[in-house]
Amino acid sequence: GGFKRMRILDAMGTFPNVVPTVQFASATFDRNEGDATNTMTFTVTRTGPAAVIADSPSSVLVSSTVGGTATPGTTGTTDYVAFLNQVVNFAPRETSKTASISLRGDFTIEPIETVALSLSNPFAALLGAQRTATLRIVNDDLPGTIFFDQLGVFTVNETAGA
């Protein structure tokens, strides 16, 4: 029952060198937004005892969470497609995996926007210190320029055409 499960979880926490740890590879991940929908990948790592990693699979869930400045959605002026519980599976001997998020690029000049990411529900692993991360969507749009093909002085009459 529940008591046995709790005892196992207690043992995992007591003997951290026996159980692998999963975490984000970095606290922040940067990506230019682009001008169309595109996919951005980020890395989740697994570290721990070599013998355990060599013989055992692990998994963890990754989600976008509330708290960033970017707008989630699939239409209009949204910045990314929110996701919940994307499974990241580590096969035996694997120490690095990627997960992905769909970004919705645009032509709008805007500040850097952020998406909060989190890990949860590890299987055959513990969550490491870097269990949250921030995806920074970097604006790559440039302001337009206006130029005249002829040099000189131009005058405009405010009442013309009224």
Max CA pair span of the chain: 87
Choose among 67, 63, 147, 48: nearest CA to 113: 67
pLDDT at residue number 47? 96
Helix (H) or strand (E) holding 12: helix 2-14
Residue type, 38: N
CB-CB neighbours of 101 under 10 Å: 22
Q: pLDDT tens per residue, the chain (162 residues)?
A: 555 554 455 555 555 568 999 999 999 999 988 888 889 999 999 999 999 999 999 999 999 998 899 999 988 889 999 999 999 999 999 999 999 999 998 888 888 999 999 999 999 999 999 999 999 999 887 777 777 777 777 777 777 665
pLDDT at residue number 133? 97
Which two tokens mark 159?
């009442």
